[in-house]
């Protein structure tokens, strides 16, 4: 056999890491059947059609809608990206405006979809009720407000407060809840807190297969064109095993999710308490935290997040992600007690490691950088001639590509924005080149 990808996956599975990364099933069948090959079929009279459902898919979506508390819920086999694309297209097609108030903490699919739909962003450095209210006062003609909650570090936006502001202006609140499909187990899902449309990447925190996502609508009117837009952006051959896993994940959430996630929240609370007692820190900024995500700032002890992540891996604990300051872990009910014990023990051992950087007590930098100047419309720039330059060569030029490292999901540069020298350090963290067009000098 010569199958390098398959062999690499088998090698990884054989190492038996404690998996604190997505997907939520952690490599165990969970609620999924062992043999999914027999479910890998196509659109048939018995199996329904995702984009024109009249049978079993429609019934499965109706059950999901009832559980999540939406007016309409639809399945996506194209991940949360397809859900985001559909969400933005639905909102844009229902409004005469081409401008969207959008959080800078956004997945690259948001920028790419705005390019496709020729939308122009009004960027928010932070998405609080006050900042959104100010943006709407200063920009009276917009189609809606788009925020990400929770963010990659587990910080939750004030969805009820944001929804109230949007309602006062008669605008929909659109939420990228990619990392929060499980929040219904804690009764804090955005669709029940006033959001108009919510995209959820089910595989990240629930036992669905990678690529499985939900899109929820608070009002059926928002969903009127959703099927058409999903078929516009999505594959004409959606994966039935992924769709079936969404149905099973919903059933598991409905029957076991709340009871299963309670102990996870308890373990996370103990991990946070231990981290602080060891001199580490939690994400700051005043936001509430996802009860089921553990993010630890090791840089406050002079240990970079990258070094800490490597230390965890050496002790058979695989985190989801690390940056200069933070290490992120995604626990779910499918992590075994051994996993949590390993994580606690390894974090305790990490506290004795020598520092590799100067102690850093600053806040997480998502959204902190000044917004670049805008020289061109998003779509105009994205379709312009381009050349590849190193970040230092690109200063003063106009970006035609999107620099949005994901994780963690932060737009450093969007098409049409001027590359400034002060942004080059952030760009270096993400890429080794910039696609740029004409100089602004």
Q: Which of 202, 292, 303 is nearest to 247 (CA)?
A: 202
Report the sign of the C-alpha dihedral through residues 45, 48, 49, 54, in that order: positive
Residue 441 has pLDDT above 50, yes or no: no
Q: How confident is the model at residue 162 (pLDDT cuts 50, 70, 90)?
A: very high
pLDDT value at 411 more than 50 = yes
Residues 120, 378: contact at Cβ < 8 Å? yes
Percent of the chain with pLDDT over 90: 78
190-209: buried (b, 16+ CB within 10 Å) or exposed (e) per residue?
bbbbbbbbbbbbbbbbbbbb
* Closest-CA residue to 360 (of 314, 323, 409): 323
The string of pLDDT tens digits covering residues 343-373 is 999 999 999 999 988 898 665 444 455 788 9
Q: Span 378-439: which CATH code?
A: 3.90.105
Closest CA to 185 of 205, 155, 203, 163: 205
Determine the Cα–Cα distance for residues 149 and 261; give it in Å rounded to an integer: 19
CATH code of domain 37-253: 3.40.640.10
Judge whether residue 155 has pLDDT over 90: yes
Q: Is the pLDDT of residue 401 over 90?
A: no
Determine the average pLDDT of the residues in 179-191: 97
**Hey, where are the domains in the chain?**
37-253, 378-439
pTM: 0.94
| pLDDT higher than 60, residue 1 | yes
Region 388-393: mean pLDDT is 79
Which of 167-181, 185-199, 258-272, 380-394 has the lowest average pLDDT?
380-394
Q: Of the ranges 98-107, 251-260, 361-370, which one carries the lowest mean pLDDT score? A: 361-370
pLDDT value at 97 more than 50: yes
* Region of poorest pLDDT, from 143-157, 202-216, 217-231, 279-293: 279-293
CB 201 within 8 A of CB 80: yes
Q: What integer pLDDT is reported at residue 391 of this predicted model? A: 74
pLDDT tens for 6-43 read 999 999 999 999 999 999 998 887 777 778 788 889 99
Residue 285: predicted pLDDT: 65
């Amino acid at each position: 056999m010569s199958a390098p990808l398959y062999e690499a996956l088998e090698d990884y599975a054989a190492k038996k890491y404690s998996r604190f990364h997505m997907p939520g099933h952690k490599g165990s069948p969970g609620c999924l059947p062992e043999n999914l090959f027999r479910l890998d079929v196509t659109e048939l009279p018995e199996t329904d059609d995702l984009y024109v459902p009249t049978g079993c898919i429609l019934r499965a979506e109706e059950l999901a809608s009832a559980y999540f508390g939406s007016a309409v819920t639809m399945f996506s086999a194209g991940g949360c990206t397809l859900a985001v694309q559909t969400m933005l297209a639905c909102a844009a097609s229902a409004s005469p405006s081409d401008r969207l108030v959008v959080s800078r903490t956004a997945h690259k699919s948001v920028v790419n979809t705005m390019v496709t739909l020729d939308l122009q962003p009004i960027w928010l450095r932070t998405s609080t009720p006050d900042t959104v209210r100010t943006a709407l006062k200063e920009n009276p003609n917009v189609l809606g407000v788009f925020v990400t909650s929770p963010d990659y570090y587990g910080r939750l936006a004030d969805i009820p407060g944001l929804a109230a502001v949007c309602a006062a202006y008669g605008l929909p609140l659109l939420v990228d809840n990619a990392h929060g499909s499980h929040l219904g187990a804690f009764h804090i899902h955005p669709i029940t807190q006033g959001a108009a449309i919510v995209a959820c990447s089910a595989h990240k925190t629930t036992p669905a297969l990678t690529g499985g996502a939900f899109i929820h609508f608070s009002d059926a009117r928002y969903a009127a064109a959703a099927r058409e837009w999903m078929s516009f952006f999505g594959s004409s051959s959606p994966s039935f095993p992924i769709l079936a896993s969404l149905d099973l994940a919903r059933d598991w959430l409905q029957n076991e999710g709340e009871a299963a996630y309670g102990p996870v929240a308890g373990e996370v609370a103990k991990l946070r308490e231990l981290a602080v007692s060891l001199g580490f820190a939690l994400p700051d900024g005043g936001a509430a935290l996802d009860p089921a995500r553990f993010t630890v700032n090791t840089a406050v002890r002079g240990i970079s997040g990258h070094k800490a992540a490597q230390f965890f891996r050496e002790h058979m604990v695989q985190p989801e992600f690390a940056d200069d300051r933070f290490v992120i872990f995604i626990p779910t009910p499918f992590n075994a007690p051994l996993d949590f014990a390993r994580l606690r023990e390894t974090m305790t051992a990490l506290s004795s490691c020598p520092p590799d950087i100067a102690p850093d007590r600053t806040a997480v930098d998502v959204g902190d950088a000044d917004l670049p100047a805008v020289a061109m419309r998003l779509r105009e720039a994205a379709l312009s001639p381009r050349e590849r330059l190193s970040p230092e060569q690109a200063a003063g030029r106009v970006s035609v590509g999107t620099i949005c490292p994901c994780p963690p999901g932060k737009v450093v540069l969007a098409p049409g924005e001027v590359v400034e020298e002060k942004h080059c350090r952030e760009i270096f963290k993400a890429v080794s080149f910039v696609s740029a067009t004409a100089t602004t000098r």
